[in-house]
Amino acid sequence: MLSAAHEQATRGSHGIAVLAASDVEALVEHVVDRLLAERAATPEYVDAEQTAALLGVSRRSLPQLVRRDGLPVHRVGRLYRFRRDEVVAWLERRADEPGAHVGRHRRRLASIR
């Protein structure tokens, strides 16, 4: 930030601080960096349609996958929201455990990656 003396010296005729172009560029770069870091730290949530497409199933199959197979879900009222990273991790676990659809899960993972 600007020192008090620098800020006082750079005030315009109406008392509004005037910034040099390099200060504005540095401020914009700082804000963009903070927004990108915040976005990277925020998990990506997808809706039921996107999750069904990701898994290659119908949207109507999702409640059964949640109840029976433990597909991780976050409920917002009556809506299902899924974290993409949790869905991929769930699919990876399913592709490694023996049972039905292991080959399908592995193919789906290969298409996601």
pLDDT tens digits, residue range 19-42? 777 888 888 888 888 877 776 666
Question: In this predicted structure, what is the pLDDT of residue 20?
Answer: 79
Question: In this predicted structure, what is the pLDDT of residue 13?
Answer: 62
Nearby residues of 63 by Cβ (< 8 Å), 6 or more positions away: 80
Q: Are residues 21 and 55 in the same domain?
A: no
Global confidence as pTM: 0.56
Give the tokens for residue 91: 């699919």
Question: In this predicted structure, what is the pLDDT of residue 87?
Answer: 92
Q: Are residues 35 and 8 in the same domain?
A: yes
Q: Are residues 18 and 69 in the same domain?
A: no
The span from the CA of 48 to the CA of 104, in Å, is 20
Inter-residue contact 72 to 86 (CB < 8 Å): yes
- Look at the chain and report how many structural domains it folds into: 2
pLDDT < 50: residue spans in the chain: none
Question: In this predicted structure, what is the pLDDT of residue 48?
Answer: 92
